């Protein structure tokens, strides 16, 4: 059945109205999404480079942390990062983990100012990493120090005797796989481990002396494993100021 001219005109008007309101609704929705994204992401949503201070948290037991090292490298290469705060709260960890992060922080400090902010604790490898910064700030009651190296291993030989368990072994040399938790450590084994510890300890003391501008004798006097409050650490020149992020 043929459509009347009036019906055709009315239908076209209705289509135009529907198209107008659809476009209007789309524009409103797009504007709302942009406003919401700007609220969530802040100025970064505009795509403009914003100069800023980066804050990196180093917490818990320190191990070889590839993700952290890559993050520090990215920060070092960023033109918009003008300085870095290392927020440290760690009891320490492995010597290799501390060494790798220390070296990455030193690379970073060669390009940008780096400050270490000590929370509750920066001990052992935690303090090693803090010493890589240009400036160290700690709370008055923070715990700082424990400069030294430690190797611990269990001796379950007494338990094995009670359970009637014996260990047999064939070794290429007496010090292979020593010390072992399955038998008491002898003098030669303890001497070997002590040499290993003293070598790493010598390196750690050298770092403290260099970074804190001390003589080796001054650094060694503080490197007996002692821990210090933030106030004591300031008096001993292990930190530069007491306070928090504002300082």
**Choosing from 82, 107, 140, 176, which is the catalytic residue?**
176
How far is residue 92's CA from residue 145's CA, in Å, rounded to a whole number?
10
Same domain, 198 and 233: no
For the chain, the first-to-last Cα distance in angstroms comes to 85
β-bridge mates for residue 117, sequence order: 87, 137
Residues 56/117, Cβ–Cβ less than 8 Å: no
Give 1 or 74, the one with higher predicted confidence. Answer: 74
What pLDDT is recorded for position 14? 65
Same domain, 99 and 192: no
Same domain, 126 and 192: no
What pLDDT is recorded for position 177? 83
pLDDT, average across residues 199-216:
96
How far is residue 176's CA from residue 157's CA, in Å, rounded to a whole number?
18
Annotated catalytic residue 17: no
Give the domain range for residue 208.
Answer: 150-215
Distances (CA, A) of 8 to 2, 20, 23, 139, 148: 10, 19, 23, 81, 91
Give 220-235 pLDDT, tens digit per residue: 999 999 999 999 999 9
Count: domains in the chain: 2
Annotated catalytic residue 124: yes
Same domain, 203 and 117: no
What tokens does 8 get? 């055709």
Rounded to the nearest 10 degrees, the angle between the axes of helix 66-77 and helix 95-111 is 10
pLDDT, average across residues 61-82:
94
**Choosing from 124, 131, 142, 146, which is the catalytic residue?**
124
How far is residue 84's CA from residue 69's CA, in Å, rounded to a whole number?
14
What pLDDT is recorded for position 24? 76
Give 174-192 pLDDT, tens digit per residue: 888 888 888 888 999 899 9
Q: How confident is the model at residue 45 (pLDDT cuts 50, 70, 90)?
A: very low
Q: Please report, for the domain that includes residue 93, its CATH number.
A: 3.90.226.10
Is the model's pLDDT at 3 over the cut of 60?
A: no
Largest Cα–Cα distance of the chain, in whole Å? 112
Same domain, 194 and 97: no
Give 14-32 pLDDT, tens digit per residue: 676 667 667 777 778 777 7
User: Which residue is associated with the tokens 């929370």?
Assistant: 119
Same domain, 165 and 230: no
């Amino acid at each position: 059945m043929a459509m009347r001219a009036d019906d055709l005109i009315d239908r076209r008007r209705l289509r135009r109205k529907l198209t107008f309101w659809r476009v209007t609704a789309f524009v409103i929705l797009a504007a709302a999404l942009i406003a919401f994204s700007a609220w969530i992401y802040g100025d970064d949503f505009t795509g403009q480079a914003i100069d800023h201070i980066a804050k990196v948290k180093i917490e818990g037991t320190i191990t070889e942390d590839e993700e952290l090292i890559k993050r520090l490298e990215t920060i070092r290469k960023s033109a918009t990062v003008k300085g870095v705060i290392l927020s440290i709260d760690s009891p320490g960890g492995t010597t290799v983990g501390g060494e790798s992060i220390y070296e990455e922080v030193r690379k970073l400090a060669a390009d940008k100012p780096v400050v270490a902010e000590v929370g509750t604790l920066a001990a052992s490898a935690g303090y090693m990493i803090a010493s890589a910064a240009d400036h160290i700030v700690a709370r008055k009651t923070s715990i700082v120090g424990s400069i030294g190296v430690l190797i611990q291993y269990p001796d379950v030989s007494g338990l094995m005797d009670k359970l009637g368990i014996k260990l047999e072994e064939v070794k290429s040399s007496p010090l292979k796989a020593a010390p072992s938790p399955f038998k008491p450590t002898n003098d030669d084994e303890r001497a070997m481990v002590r040499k290993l510890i003293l070598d790493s300890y010598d390196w750690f003391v050298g770092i403290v002396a260099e970074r804190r501008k001390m003589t080796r004798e001054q650094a060694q006097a503080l490197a007996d494993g002692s821990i210090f409050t933030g106030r004591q650490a300031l008096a001993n020149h292990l930190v530069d100021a007491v306070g928090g992020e504002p300082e």
